[in-house]
Amino acid sequence: MDARNRLRSFFFSGVGPVSGNRLRLLQNGAEFFPALVAAIDAARIEVHLETYIFNADPSAETVRDALMRAAQRGVRVQLLIDGVGSRELPADWLAALKAAGVSVLVYRPLAGRGWRSNPKSLRRLHRKLAVIDARIAFIGGMNLMDDFEPVRFDAPRLDFSVEVQGPLLASIHQSVHRLWRLVALTQLQPDRRKAVIVPSWPTDGHVRAAFVVRDNFAHRRDIERVYLAALALAREEIILANAYFLPGHRFRKLLKKAAARGVQVQLLVQGHTDHPFFQAASRALYRDLLTAGVKIHEYQASEMHAKVAVVDGHLATVGSSNIDPFSLLLAREANIVVDDTAFAHDLQQSLYQAITQSTALEPADWQRRPWPRRMLSWLAYGSVRMIIGLAGAGRWA
């Protein structure tokens, strides 16, 4: 078995790839929101949408209005939002959705004001998924949130989603309905409108891909295993863009081993962050990685929210999962894993462009960081590890 086929074998191990799909990479809200709204407006039977953040802004409003139009013409519309990420969604938006006939459920609603001090509240719905008529789906990292909110830069927030048509719809459709029924049951709101729709798709697709989730039951480590397999078998190049990058010991070890055997390893991380404490924790790891030959770039053009990777120019992943303990050990996540040179090339070129808009970290400069900054980073890193332990996620080293 040659290196490429060996990588494919390990990359997809246990995650059930299927051939015959048609995929389209969508970058930023300018491509994502029109595609999603058009699909919802074309819906005839069913729309299911899951999101972590549903923000009250003009871009999200176009989706809200499309959901309402669909419900008003008799389409079954189910909206699942997270209790923390969407906690600021205005009451009048929720009322309008429900009045139009949209079924709305909140994943793990907040109880009282002490949620910030309760580590168990970190177990969130972080998936960003939409499935329309079981014939088209959207999977990625984009919330229902304008590219320029809440902080305005000259450039849009960097993020990706994938429009999916093909046999992969069967597992995606099953997953969203399973989670909807589970949440409805736990909130004593049994779903009496059983899904009778059968997934369908075009017959001209050619892309091999897998739908990979992380949950707290049978798929606790699936997304992490895909990444680890890719790092272990890569032979030419790893480009990994991740908004919240705080990998465990094994992940870091494999990154360094890849660099040591001549693989070009490039990490694209946030330069501007909405979580300074978490960024400080991440930076505690940079010196060791830079010394090992891993190249790290901090994106400067805008906010960077992507959770994507390209390996050896033909394997790629796009999804909601960060490389941090919150995503890999606590949250519900969903990624798509793709084996296709053309798709990987498109994503690769976008990441190359983003790297030109980034600051490359130099090992020598990083080694000369003032000791108070280094101390702050390690204190932040230790605090994150403690929080994860209290949340019951097990060992993270």
> Over the stretch 171-202, which tens digit does the pLDDT of each residue have?
999 999 999 999 999 888 876 665 568 888 88
Question: Do both 136 and 251 map to the same domain?
Answer: no
Question: Do both 296 and 181 map to the same domain?
Answer: no
Question: Do both 114 and 257 map to the same domain?
Answer: no
12, part of any domain: no
Question: Do both 242 and 149 map to the same domain?
Answer: no
Q: How far is CA 130 from the centre of its chain?
A: 13
Confidence at residue 191, expressed as pLDDT on a 0 to 100 scale = 67
Q: In this structure, are residues 266 and 297 in contact, taking their beta carbons and an 8 Å threshold? A: yes
194, part of any domain: no
Confidence at residue 234, expressed as pLDDT on a 0 to 100 scale = 96
Question: Do both 228 and 162 map to the same domain?
Answer: no
Question: Do both 305 and 363 map to the same domain?
Answer: yes
> Over the stretch 15-39, which tens digit does the pLDDT of each residue have?
678 999 999 999 999 999 999 999 9
Select from 186, 218, 251 the last residue of a domain.
186
Query: Cα–Cα distances in Å, from 100 out to 8, 53, 54?
Result: 46, 21, 17
Q: In this structure, are residues 236 and 264 in contact, taking their beta carbons and an 8 Å threshold? A: yes
196, part of any domain: no
Question: Do both 159 and 230 map to the same domain?
Answer: no
198, part of any domain: no
- Domain range for residue 76? 21-186
Mean pLDDT to the nearest integer, 260-273:
96
Confidence at residue 397, expressed as pLDDT on a 0 to 100 scale = 41
d(CA 28, CA 385): 32
> Over the stretch 83-136, which tens digit does the pLDDT of each residue have?
999 999 999 999 999 999 999 999 999 876 555 555 567 789 999 999 999 999
Question: Do both 232 and 94 map to the same domain?
Answer: no
d(CA 173, CA 169): 6
Enter the tokens of residue 392: 């019951």
The dihedral sign for the CA sequence 94, 98, 101, 106 = positive
Residue 394, classified by CB atoms within 10 Å of its CB into exposed (0-12), middle (13-18) or buried (19+), is exposed
Question: Do both 65 and 133 map to the same domain?
Answer: yes
Which residue in the block uniquely carries the two structure tokens 């589970």? 182
Question: Do both 181 and 318 map to the same domain?
Answer: no
| Crossing angle between the packed helical segments 91-99 and 58-72, to the nearest 10 degrees | 20
Full 3-state SS string of 263-278: CEEEEEEEEECCCHHH
User: Which residues are the active-site residues?
Assistant: 126, 128, 133, 305, 307, 312
Question: Do both 39 and 77 map to the same domain?
Answer: yes
Q: Which domain CATH number covers 227?
A: 3.30.870.10
> Over the stretch 357-385, which tens digit does the pLDDT of each residue have?
999 999 887 777 887 888 888 888 888 77
Question: Do both 178 and 217 map to the same domain?
Answer: no
30, part of any domain: yes
3-state SS class at 23 = strand
Strands 129-132 and 46-51: antiparallel
Q: How many domains does the chain have?
A: 2
197, part of any domain: no
- pTM, rounded to two decimals: 0.93
